[in-house]
Amino acid sequence: MSKVWLQMVKPTVISTFAGCGGSSLGYQMAGFHELLAVEWDQNAVDTFRLNFPDVPVYHGDIAKLTGDECMRLAGIEKGQLDVLDGSPPCQGFSTAGKRQFDDPRNSLFKEYARLLKDLQPKAFVMENVTGMVKGCMKQAYLTIIKTLRDCGYKAKGEVLNAMYFNVPQSRERVIIIGVREDLGIEPSHPKPQGKPINISEAFASISNHGLIKYPTGECKKIVAEMKPGEDGNDAFQRLNKTNVRRWFGLKRLSFDKPALTLVKSILSGQIHPTENRYLSEAEIKRIGSFPDTFVMVGDLPTIWERIGNSVPPNLMKAIAEHIKINILQRTTDAFPGIEIRRVD
């Protein structure tokens, strides 16, 4: 007599521009199985491998990774993958930079689109800065959306702020979600999940700060003068009785508010609400919604860069859970997420 048994099947994801694993951690928390991570930076790869030892890594230039090789490494065939994830480098779109339309870093999304077209996953997620939908960069955004749709997908972008998704940081990002056209499902985004978490709540019970860095030289004097909520320019003008703008990149946080967007440079960093120092390793992990146990590699500026470049895991967890329920489970039969096997 045949026996029927059920086996839970995890949805699958490949992460491009994986960094140290912020997105990967979010997918993991949402119950996904990551088949492959693609990343070229040595420090990011070293960090990723320490925290995700079971996930294969393609360490190299994504432009040299063919679709066939990607599928071979992941052990899949065309159309089998559930989600292709990617956060192409965004410095060329960032409002913190010069915002040059022809910045070569802006074209890396084409490599992502190339793999998307080759792999034909059920859905995709692409993350980038809000600068791509503002002013002269709006044309770049429209070009990206058209390119993704030309790969055979319905695509929709929305601006999400991580502070409404259990991340103690005000961090707006454009999240583009796409669904393969043959599935007949419209892409959608998760709704806010709660009120912002302030710094006092985020820093509660930190027992080991890890690496700490203190300002030196003129910066030390500026930081000592800064009040909660101020930037360095406020203190500089007060000390020097001048209207010259300097040190405006420094921000002293307030305990009763979330952190500001964590950028990749510690020199444009955030200062502790009451102590005259940059945020510690443990504190920037909390701001990025990384667990205290997440292993980082390198000095504090390097760790700051890794987390500043990452998608906050809790934000990606919310996105991944939304896709799993509202897209992937609608593409299966009567038992979404369950594989039915008959054993004779």
Give the residue numbers annotated as catalytic, written as ranges.
90
> What would the two tokens of residue 53 be?
């030892």
**Which residue pairs from 188-191 have beta carbons closer than 8 angstroms and sit at least 24 positions apart in sequence?**
188/156, 188/322, 188/326, 188/327, 189/156, 189/158, 189/160, 189/319, 189/322, 190/160, 190/165, 190/318, 190/319, 190/321, 190/322
Q: Determine phi and psi for 24, rounding to 5 degrees.
A: -60, -40
Q: Is 240 left (phi over 0), alpha (psi -120 to 50) or beta?
A: alpha
**Which residue pairs from 37-44 have beta carbons closer than 8 angstroms and sit at least 24 positions apart in sequence?**
38/14, 38/62, 38/65, 38/70, 43/297, 43/298, 43/302, 43/306, 44/18, 44/19, 44/20, 44/306
> What would the two tokens of residue 119 be?
């792999």
